[in-house]
Amino acid sequence: MPEFSEDLFFATIGELNKRILAREFKVEELARAFAARLERLGPRYNALALPLTGEAVRRAKEVDGEIRRGRMRGPLQGIPYGAKDLLSYAGHPTTWGARPYAGQVFKETATVLRRLDGRGAVLVGKLAMVELAGGGGYRYAAASMFGPGLNPWDRTRWSGGSSSGSGSAVAAGLAPFALASETWGSILTPAAFCGVTGLRPTYGLVSRHGAMALSWTLDKIGPMAHSAEDCGLVLQAIAGKDDLDPGSAGKSFYYTPQYARAMKDLRVGFAPVDFEEWAEPAARPAFRQALETIRSLGVQMVETALPDFPYGAVAGTVIAAEGSAVFEPLIRSGGVDQLADRKQIAGLKAGLEIPAKDYLKAMRIRGLVQAALRKLFAGVDLLVSPSLFGTAPRIDQPLDRGSGRKEPPQRGLADLGAAGNLAGLPALSLPCGFAENLPVAIQLVGRPFSENTLLAAGREFQNRTDWHRRRPPL
């Protein structure tokens, strides 16, 4: 097997694809290299749930044969990747990060994994996650049977939840891209904390068949990668109608950067209070510079704010009610007491007691939120805000510990995470600098099914910065 430099493990999908087509190395050799790195370094970050080296090598050999025969399947052909362990892979354990499901094996493979296999991508491992994707709420980063997700930039810090392994794996160069899921922040949070690019697709654009359900009306699956361009390539492969997912929107996605709207035609909404007051002081210089870079794209900047709704309370009620309904058998059987986090155990039990009237009221307010955001997006094409207002917390700190700072009187876009998920809006998290040697990121949020606009703006931002190229000190 050839000696691969460290550069290869942080190469983009496009760069790897060119080298595969140039026959610089075999797909089998590439798969072996990434699989070995994932097995060796994955446990260092508590990122590895299940190595799939043997399966990956067998599939890679098949892909090599296809390439020799001239059967080309696109830019993902031969590219290794990892998948969050809530996605079923037939005949292999799918633990959902939780001890009660440690021996769980499904007969079917998740739709997204089958679609990537059809494009010739090579699954090298399943990646760790917070137990049950955080259902019920959790207090500590250690809420996983794999231990706390450790951040490659500083292993005393959290990699973020619930897709902790996906964020760590991409940041540490253990996989060129990874699949993750988001119900309320589980793609954008680890992407921001780990300094990688993360895409939350529009609700219903990507099939969830074969994925653990947490909230039927909120769950979404999307990629983390080294660039916005890579996220677009992966989304094109995994998006599309699926009759096996009742929430499928029945839409396809084609990544078409050549047809992107001119930046000068885009109206981008922002709230100055997000960058000057909500942001932690150490992160403000990076956020200010990121905002100026967005402005330099030539877009039209528009000051705006979210309409006044109890976004967090509404999202919390929906997730708690739906999540506890999903896991009712686990709760009623007492198996829930095997979970690692006491707050999560209590939260799942409490979710079963939410009255129907409270859930229905939350869904009614959610409808009002969706209508209000449609009105907001009549005046802007994108919203920009910090993905999170600060850096990754220490793994030994309670995650519900307050910052101790007084909240600004103006909300601005501070509730964009809850609001965007309630409305099923797509979002793109982009690394934008560092605060105290830890990554910070901004998010772009758009109308439903506006992923190409998000990705075009993200690509232009990354053409002007190199934050997405930075590597942690492994």
The catalytic residues are 84, 162, 186
Q: How many helices (H) and strands (E) does the chain have?
A: 15, 13
Please, how many CA atoms are within 13 Å of residue 473, restricted to the half-sphere of its CB? 4
Distance CA 357, CA 432 (A): 43
Please give the Cα distance from 52 to 32 (Å, whole number): 10
**Farthest-apart Cα atoms in the chain, separation:** 64
Pairing mode, strands 382-386 and 300-303 = unpaired
Specify which residues 239 forms β-bridges with: 206
Tokens of 346: 């209590």
Q: Which pair of tokens denotes residue 337? A: 């007491």
- Ranges of beta strands (E only) in 220-304 are 220-225, 267-270, 300-303
Q: Which stretches within 252-355 are classed as H helix?
A: 272-273, 284-296, 311-326, 328-333, 342-351
Whether residue 80 contacts residue 30, with contact meaning beta carbons closer than 8 Å, is answered with yes
Instruction: Answer whether 197's CB lies under 8 Å from 428's CB.
Output: yes
Cα–Cα distance, 258 to 310 (Å, whole number): 40
**Contact (Cβ atoms closer than 8 angstroms) between residue 97 and residue 134:** no
Give the up-direction half-sphere exposure of residue 15: CA atoms within 13 A in the CB hemisphere. 12
Q: How far apart are CA 294 and CA 467, in angstroms?
A: 14
DSSP letters spanning 57-96: HHHHHHHHHHHHTT----TTTT-EEEEETTB--TTSB--T
Tell how far CA 163 is from the center of its chain. Answer: 7
The SS3 of residue 103 is coil
